[in-house]
Homo-oligomer: A and B are copies of this chain.
Amino acid sequence: MTRQLNIRRSTGLKWRVSIPEGFRELTEALGFARANGPWFEKIENGRVMRGFLPGTQHANALGIVHGGMLAAFLDSAMGRAVWHTLRRRSVTLRLSVDYLGPAKVGDWLQAEGEVVGHDEHVAQVRGRLYGRRHEVLAGLGSFTLLSRQRTLNTRS
């Protein structure tokens, strides 16, 4: 079943948009993720994907999705990939993003990360953020792996 989400377009009209099959809403999200949500997640063939529907609250003054919002969402998907692959919580140490194309309000976006290398302390992650028809961001990041003790004491 394809779920529907009401979002408010810049026209002020509510508009019903489809959430792609298999995505669940991250209802446990807190802080920034909750304030800028709802965010969605899907695990498929061992990969974890995040998705969201940008609204006017995610836009910049030009009316397209704010570049910082896109970087923040990609960062979260890359950190999630670290957890999914290594079962370690992490914090971003370095993040580099290339903006390949704009993202429109109302167009579903997805992001995912891939752990391409790691030692006991740091993971190297490649990330991409994309719409239905085009790539939006390419990312490369280093994530500091938190101690396993701390991982046990904090939320996933």
Interface residues of A (CB under 8 A from B): 30-36, 56-63, 66-69, 71-76, 79, 89, 91-99, 102, 154-155
What residues of chain B lie closer than 8 Å to A79, measured between beta carbons? 67
Question: Residue of B at shortest CB range from A100?
Answer: B93
What residues of chain B lie closer than 8 Å to A89, measured between beta carbons? 62
The contact of A36 among B30, B34, B35, by CB within 8 Å, is: B35
Given A32-B57, A61-B155, are A67 and B91 neighbors across the interface (CB < 8 Å)? yes
Contact B99 A66 (CB under 8 A): no
A-B contact pairs, 12 of them (CB 8 A): A30-B59, A31-B57, A31-B60, A32-B57, A32-B66, A33-B60, A62-B89, A66-B72, A68-B71, A68-B76, A69-B72, A94-B96
What residues of chain B lie closer than 8 Å to A33, measured between beta carbons? 60, 66
Contact A73 B62 (CB under 8 A): no
Give A31 to B154 CA distance when docked, in angstroms.
31
